[in-house]
Structure 1
Amino acid sequence: MTVIRLTTSGLNIGYEERLIVEDLNIAIPQGKITALVGANGSGKSTILKTMARIMSPSAGSVLLDGQSIHKQSTREVAKQLAILPQNPTAPDGLTVSELVSYGRFPYQKGFGSLNRDDRAIIKWAIEATRMEEFTDRPIDQLSGGQRQRAWIAMALAQQTDILFLDEPTTFLDMAHQLEVLELLRELNLTANRTIVMVVHDLNHASRYAHHMIAIKKGRVAGEGSPEEVMTPDILREVFSIEADIIPDPRTGVPLCLPYSLVGGPAAKSPSVAQEPVPMMAAVGN
């Protein structure tokens, strides 16, 4: 039985007078990984930020356990959900342990110092993200993948059930992308974290998410399992691409192989092979 704790109801989100998201109603499965996918400018990050209480809706609500998160105190919300924004930055010289300690802020009173429980949780978060050898290393001296793991450790130190991430693999090479995604999968499996992330790569979303929500112009164009969302029709509507969907040979999940823009030459005659261009002709005299 799927448990739902986090939902949106009639959510409208905009910037000044421009409406980006209109009448959004979605449900996030508890204990699962949910991926928000869509074209650039579709409203994915805006939805994520509003669900994480960084932005306020112009209408509607985000409900956690039936209560509007925008009517709760910041400290109380921070004990229930954490967010890792896109491209976070830390002050020069800040070490990994210092960054992770910020995750304990919602639990401190006034200017109180870290207690024994706080230090134990910080140690656990660093170990969970396999950052022990970098504990005293400044953040600005780490690789991209190591920095991302440090930020995830900070979010884990908040000890929230729900973790939001806005394109966590942006600007990372393929090895570091897999490193971060495998870490998130491990956290979901071993710590039962509910993870909601904006994902740019459709095949990453299909491989690592249990639940996918396809967004087009601030509206839901498809929602469900990867098999239900990764279809030629939905990808045509959301991304304006023609694509073949095949089972991944290793995992069996849907794999997207785009071959043309909607209405492009390949879409009109995909079976017609073109004559290869001789190398010298292609290069020129």
Structure 2
Amino acid sequence: MSRLSTNQLCLAYGSRQIVLELNLHVPDGLITALVGANGSGKSTILKSMARILNPVQGGVYLDGKLIHRQPTKEVAKQLAILPQNPTSPEGLTVRELVSFGRYPHQKGFGNLSSEDNRMIEWALQATGMTMFSGRPVDQLSGGQRQRAWIAMALAQGTEVLLLDEPTTFLDMAHQMEVMTLLEKLNREQKRTIIMVVHDLNHASRYAHHLVALKDGTVLYEGQPEVVMTSRMLREVFNIDADVIPDPRTGAPLCLPYGLAEEEGATQDAIIGGSSLSEEREDRVQALA
């Protein structure tokens, strides 16, 4: 089942075509990761899903209705987006930032209701940011800052979260902090999460559903165990890599060892490189 989907979606910046006739169904209650090389259309698709970018043709559907024809506030009550590298005014406190998430629900002069305050406190608690609520956002660490922005998205009270590279520019510990939080939100609250991810091992570890894009087209889609193969990595990212089970989680682990050579010179390598993934898929099927 899918509340959020696209039908023959075409996206462009001016005369430059980015996405062509995209048909995508986002699984409800799961974490979906969009992966692909730079310029593959990942962030562009996310912007269209968030109603930030209008389609040239086709459309994005939310609960069966064209999202670009719905009022902005109504859409904001159903899905929230965390853009890449968000910024806030200097001196703005964490609680003030999180309160902005209640804007779609406010009426009149925008005074916070008891329900607004309840949602703000809940979002702060869910992200572990209660103790930082009075601190200026620009004085937080990278991981704390991302958690504050996620809290603002949660305060909207939506069932769908869109995140554009939520771990960009974070060190390894803060990356795990943010990804673990998203995993917890999905597991405990069944939030549908769609995120653009650059780190393939993060994508395969934390997502239930992978969408591999190249030139605005979906080349592979499905569970990480099916999508994350040596062949996919060569076709989508132009890299040669081994894919092995993570010794702790069992998720596919990408181990790049070189750039892929020209297609005509590597037909044997393509066949040989896929053998490891095929063996892994056989193991997955056997376990199932």
Ranges of 4+ aligned residues in structure 1 off by more than 3 Å:
none
Specify which of 46, 50, 53 is matched with residue 52 of structure 1. Answer: 50
Deviation at 1:59, TM superposition (A): 0.4
Whether 1:134 aligns to 2:161 is no
- What letter matches 1:236 in structure 2? R
Query: Which string of whole-angstrom CA distances, capped at 9 and with x for unpartnered residues, describes residues 116-151 of structure 1?
Result: 111011000000000011010000000000000000
- What letter matches 2:141 in structure 1? S
- What letter matches 1:24 in structure 2? L
Whether 1:186 aligns to 2:184 is yes
Separation of aligned partners in 2, 1:227 and 1:110: 50
Q: Which runs of 5+ in 2 are unaligned?
A: 270-288
- What letter matches 1:62 in structure 2? V
Q: Which runs of 5+ in 1 are unaligned?
A: 270-285
Query: Which string of whole-angstrom CA distances, capped at 9 and with x for unpartnered residues, describes residues 138-190 of structure 1?
Result: 00000000000000000000000100000000000000000000000000011
Specify which of 47, 72, 75 is matched with residue 73 of structure 2. Answer: 75
Aligned to 2:283: none
What SS does the corresponding residue of 2:161 show, helix, strand or coil? strand
What SS does the corresponding residue of 1:40 show, helix, strand or coil? coil
Query: Which string of whole-angstrom CA distances, capped at 9 and with x for unpartnered residues, describes residues 61-113 of structure 1?
Result: 10111101100000000000000000000000000000000000000113230
Aligned to 1:242: 240
Separation of aligned partners in 1, 2:26 and 2:248: 27
Separation of aligned partners in 1, 2:114 and 2:73: 21
Rg larger in structure:
1
Measured on the aligned residues, the alpha-carbon RMSD in Å equals 1.4
When the two structures are superposed, what TM-score results if normalisation uses the length of structure 1? Answer: 0.91
What SS does the corresponding residue of 1:98 show, helix, strand or coil? helix
**Structure showing the higher helix proportion among its residues:** 2
Identity fraction in percent: 66
Aligned to 1:121: 119
Identify which range, 201-210 or 227-236, moves more after superposition.
227-236
Separation of aligned partners in 1, 2:115 and 2:23: 38
Aligned to 1:274: none
Count of residue pairs the alignment pairs up: 266
When the two structures are superposed, what TM-score results if normalisation uses the length of structure 2? Answer: 0.90
Deviation at 1:233, TM superposition (A): 1.1
Whether 1:260 aligns to 2:255 is no
Whether 1:175 aligns to 2:173 is yes
